[in-house]
Chain A
Amino acid sequence: MSKFRKKGGKELPPISTASLPDIVFMLLFFFMVSTTMREVTVNVSQKLPNATELSKLEKKSLVSYIYVGEPKKQFQATFGKAPRIQLNDQWANVGDIQDYIIAEREARDEADQKFMITSLKIDENTKMGIVSDIKQELRKSAALHINYSSRKKVER
């Protein structure tokens, strides 16, 4: 009987982990290509509205962002719950928008300035009053090309 049963048995060879770095590198490259760097920390909570007629923002370098929404939990003690405007990393008022647009424009090449787009990232529960004020300010500073940032809606 013992003819078939070797003493000690065959030891399982260790699993080779030599290909693990390759797999991880593959994941890494995937994420590097498909994502974009986060430039500003958004301090307002946002749920963007849904829309179907979307167009993509092609040139990221020509886009300036305006965020509007309820301040996030950690800021609510200081700023309350009313929707506020955020430009870059700072809280702002409606009056600051013109200066912001001018600063953004100065930062770009002169040839690119007329292609600049302002992307409005606004929470869907915001009242239109503040949005209209922003639009008036944008008109005053001649930043007429805007993009209402929204998510893709699945058509029923």
Chain B
Amino acid sequence: MARKVPEIAATSLADIAFMLLIFFLVTTTMDVDSGLERRLPQWQEEKIEDDTQIKERNVFVVLVNRNNDLLVENEYARIEDLRERAKLFMANPYNEENLPEKEIKEVPFFGSVEVTKGVISLRNDLDTKYGTYIAVQNELVAAINELREELAKAKFKKSYSNLQKDEQKAIRTIYPSRISEAEPKGKNYE
């Protein structure tokens, strides 16, 4: 007759597992890295003055001063209103005189459509708070994203993020993300 094997004590297993658990709790972080994705312009040795080449009606000027106030197209504005203003500027639905010009372009899926020539110009002061700057950037990016989303819904009856690569590209041609950042005031880069 076989000898009865005594039961293995499992009480300390819990302690070992707890130890591991605490180790992982301490050494890891939970935060998901997410953020506002942007692309910087290429570095140019000599500064090219291209402001003169773009007509005034095609530029949406956003200034942020050292007190974190906003000046949009030469008038005070609030961050909350910025998104609507930027959307109106980029879309220009009624082809108004003071909003940007459009040019006819051949876009796949859409045929020839009018594409805006508008550029958003963002300029901040050296003493502007980073939080305000991100809030402004966020609103501008949101404006373009919303326009793209609306167009995707209208044309493909789908959300922009669910579209095919080439469909997304077509929409991106119609609503390009043209946010130019001027160098901040109050400093000379030699």
Contacts and interface: CB of A to CB of B under 8 A. Distances in A.
Interface in B69-107: none
Interface in A134-151: 135-136, 138-140, 142-151
A127 B184 CA distance: 12
Given A124-B130, A127-B130, A132-B183, A144 B39 contact: yes
A32 interface: yes
A127 B40 CA distance: 19
Interface stretch (A1-9, A48-56, A73-81, A100-108): A48-56
Sorting the interface of chain A by its residue count into under 10, 10 to 19, 20 to 34 or 35 or more gives: 35 or more
Q: Secondary structure at chain B's binding surface: helix, strand, loop or mixed?
A: mixed
A35 B130 contact: no
Nearest to B130: A126
A70 interface: no
A12 interface: no
Contacts of B133: 128, 131
Contacts, number: 160
A91 B133 CA distance: 24
B126 interface: yes
A131 B43 contact: no
Interface residues of B, number: 47
A124 B42 CA distance: 26
Given A49-B135, A51-B36, A145-B39, A24 B14 contact: yes
Contact of A49 (B24, B125, B131): B131
Contacts of A56: 32-34
Interface of B: 10-11, 13-14, 16-18, 20-21, 24-25, 27-30, 32-43, 124-131, 133-135, 137-138, 141-142, 145, 183-184, 187, 189
14 contacts: A20-B13, A21-B14, A24-B21, A35-B28, A55-B36, A56-B33, A57-B33, A57-B34, A129-B187, A142-B42, A143-B40, A146-B37, A146-B40, A147-B37
